[in-house]
Amino acid sequence: MDKNTPAIAAHKASIANSMAGNKAQWLEVFADDAVVQDPVGPSPFDPEGEGFKGKQRIAEFWDMMIGPNNLTIVPHKRIACGDNIVAVNMTVTNDMGEMKSVVEMVVIYEVNDVGKLSSLKAYWDLEALMEQMAG
C-alpha cells in the first residue's frame, strides 16, 4: 500500500489531471520554477535536452504532449524516497483513434517543501515509440 507522501500526492494529482484533460489544474501541481524532462535527454520536443523550465514552458509542454492526446496512465509501482521524491514505474497508453501507442516508463517526481512539483523526469524509449507510430 502506498504511503501518502507529498511526492506521491503530487504524482497522483499530475496523472489524474493529465488523463482528465485539466490543464489549469495540472499546472497548479507545479512550482513556478519547476522543470519537466519528458523524455529525459534530447528529443524532437526538446532538442537541447534541458527540459521545459517554468510554468509557461511547462504549459507549452502540455500543449504539445498531453493536451492533444487521449492518455491512460497506469502506475504499476511507486517507490517513495522520503517525503519529497517518488519513483514510479508506469505504462502510458495514447489512444488516437486508428493509432494507439504504449510506452513503459519510469518517472521521478520531486516536490518542494510546500508539496509542489519542482522536477518531473520521465525515462522512456523514444525510438520504440517512433517505431510504433511508423508501424
Q: CB–CB of 66/79 below 8 Å?
A: no
Domains defined for the chain, CATH in brackets: 6-134 (3.10.450.50)
Q: What average pLDDT does range 104-118 have in this prediction?
A: 97
pLDDT of 68-89, one tens digit each?
999 999 999 999 999 999 999 9
Q: What average pLDDT does range 109-115 have in this prediction?
A: 97
Question: Looking at residue 1, what is its pLDDT?
Answer: 45
- Write the single-letter amino acid at 33: D
The radius of gyration computed from the CA coordinates of the chain, to the nearest angstrom, equals: 14
User: Per-residue confidence at 41, pLDDT binned at 50, 70, 90?
Assistant: very high
Question: Looking at residue 130, what is its pLDDT?
Answer: 85
pLDDT of 12-39, one tens digit each?
999 999 999 999 999 999 999 999 999 9
User: Per-residue confidence at 99, pLDDT binned at 50, 70, 90?
Assistant: confident
Closest CA to 91 of 63, 119, 129, 36: 129
User: Per-residue confidence at 6, pLDDT binned at 50, 70, 90?
Assistant: very high
Report whether pLDDT(63) > 90: yes
% of the chain at pLDDT higher than 90: 84
Report whether pLDDT(123) > 80: yes
Give the cell for residue 51.
527540459
